[in-house]
Amino acid sequence: MEFLQNIFYYWTDSLDPRLLYMPIINSTYQLPLIIFAYMYFVLVCGPRYMKNRPPYSLKTFIKLYNIVQFVANMWLVYSFVNAGIVIRKLFCPVEMDYTRNPVTTKLIRCAWGYFLLKLLDYVETVIFVLRKKNNQVSVLHVYHHVSTAIIAWLGIRYYCTAPMILICIINSFVHSVMYIYYFLASCGPDTQKMIAPMKPWITIMQMITVILWWTLLLKILDLTETVLFVLRKKNEQISVLHIYHHVSTVIIICIFMKYTANEIITLVPLLNCSVHFIMYNYYLFSSFGPRIRMIIAPCKRYITIIQMVQFCILIAYAAQSSLSDCKSVRNLGYIFILNVTINLCLFYKFYQRTYITKAK
C-alpha cells in the first residue's frame, strides 16, 4: 500500500515547481484525455465518419501545416542552441537545476513548445483519416505519436533540465527535414519525383535517434554469446579477450550513460553497432553449415581488422576529452581511452596469433 502511495505522490505532487503554470504539463489528466480523444477519432470515429464520404483534398491545408511544422521545429533547434546550454555543457553533464535564471526559463519555454509540437503531430494522423489514407494509420504511426507525447510529457514534467536537450534538438531537426520534404511532396508529381531519393534517408535519420537508446541493452545481450559457448562446450572461445571485452563494454557504457549521457558520446554506439551488425551477419551465415563457412572464411580476419580500426577511431575521438574544462569528464575520458587501448592490444594479440603466426 505504501508503495502505491509513493507512486501516486510522485505522479501528482513531484512536479517541477517552475512548470506549475504550464498548461497540460501541470495536469495529470489532460494528456490522457487528449490521447484518448486522438485514438478514438483516428481508430473509430474518423473511419466511421468517412466510410460513405469521398476523401477530402486538403492540399492547401497540408501545405500550410507542413510549413508551420518546419518553421516551428527549426525555431526550437535555434532557440535551444541560442540559449547557450549545448555549447557550454557539451562535455560536462548538468545536474538538476530548479533555479529561475534566464537560461533555465528559456529552456522551460522551449521544452514546453517542444511538447506542444508533439501534440500538433496528431494533426498528421487526422489528415490521413480525412483523406482516407487508412493504410498510413499503422500501428507504428499511432504508437510513435502516442508514446512520443507521453515520453516528452514525463521528461519535461520531472526532468526539465539540460541533459534532455539533445533529444529535443535531434528530434526537432529530424522533424524539420521531414516536414520540408512533405511540403515539397505536396507541390505536385514533378516535385515528388525530384525529391523521391530523399525519402529513405529521412527514415534512416529517425532510426538513428532510436538506436542510441538500445545500445546499452544490446551490450548486455552480448553476454548471451558467452553463455552459448559454455552450453556448447566451446571453452577455447572463452578467452581473456572475450570476457574482458564484454564485461568492460557493459561497465563503460553504464558509467558514461549515468554520468555523461550527452551528444559527445553518440559516435560510440553508432560506430560500435555498425561493427556488430557486420560481425553478427558473419556469425549468422556461419551457422548455415560447413559449405557456407568455407565460402565466407576469408572475411573473418577482416572483421577483426574492422574492430581494431574502430578502437583506433574511438581512441582518437575520446582524446578530445582532455580539452574539456570539466574534471569529471576528463577522468571518464582517460578511463575510456585506457579500456579501449586494452581492447585494442588484446584484439591485436588475437589477430597476430590467429592470422599472422598460423600463416607462417
**Dist CA 326 CA 97 (whole Å):** 18
141, 175, 242, 245: which is the annotated catalytic residue? 245
Please say whether the beta carbons of 46 and 126 come within 8 A: yes
CA torsion 27-31-33-35 (nearest 10°) is -170
Q: Which residue has the cell 501516486?
A: 8
Please say whether the beta carbons of 161 and 94 come within 8 A: yes
Please say whether the beta carbons of 39 and 147 come within 8 A: no
- CA end-to-end distance (rounded Å), the chain: 70
Residue of 357, 166, 177 whose CA lies nearest to 260 = 166
Cell triple for 186: 505536396
Amino acid, single-letter form, for residue 208 = I
Please say whether the beta carbons of 313 and 271 come within 8 A: yes
Residue 188, by phi and psi: left (phi above 0), alpha (psi -120 to 50) or beta? left
**Dist CA 315 CA 195 (whole Å):** 38
Q: What is the maximum span of the chain, computed from C-alpha positions, in angstroms?
A: 78
**Dist CA 344 CA 308 (whole Å):** 6
175 in active site: no
**Dist CA 116 CA 140 (whole Å):** 21
Distances (CA, A) of 295 to 33, 291, 305, 351: 58, 7, 19, 20
Catalytic residue positions? 245
